[in-house]
Amino acid sequence: MATTLSSTFRLASLTGTDPVSINIAPTLSLADPSGSGSITTSSLSNDTVLSISNAKDTYVFIRNTGASTAGNVLVTDGGTGNIGLLKPQDFLFIPLKALVGCRVVYDTAVTTLDWFYWTRA
């Protein structure tokens, strides 16, 4: 059974040399399964958010919820490729191709993060 995920994304800045005003509000079509969790990192953290064996395209959201003094988190694919670096309060939302996978890896200090994924219909 397909459902939808409503989203709103806004970037706005009137200062600097490149002012920006971007507003988008796509409705994403979803199917089962979905998943979510919370992770507290340690120096040994290399945690799977989405398995490389996942055979469906997904939307993945990860947010480093740590305070400003918390550590960074590397977001990698299921192999050795880096997708992003999340400093405290940074987030990532990405449509991820099937069979790629997603992991979070300790980078600089202990922090916490929340993650969610939804299968693309």
Tell me: the pLDDT tens digits for 59-83? 999 999 999 889 999 999 987 789 9
**Structure pTM?**
0.88
Q: Which of 89, 106, 104, 88 is nearest to 42 (CA)?
A: 106
Contacts of 119 (CB under 8 A, 6+ apart): 30, 31, 32, 33, 34, 56, 57, 58
Q: Using one digit for the tens of pLDDT, what is the confidence trace for 9-30?
A: 898 887 777 788 889 998 999 9
Measured distance CA(42)–CA(70) in Å, rounded: 12
Contact 99, 55 (CB under 8 A): yes
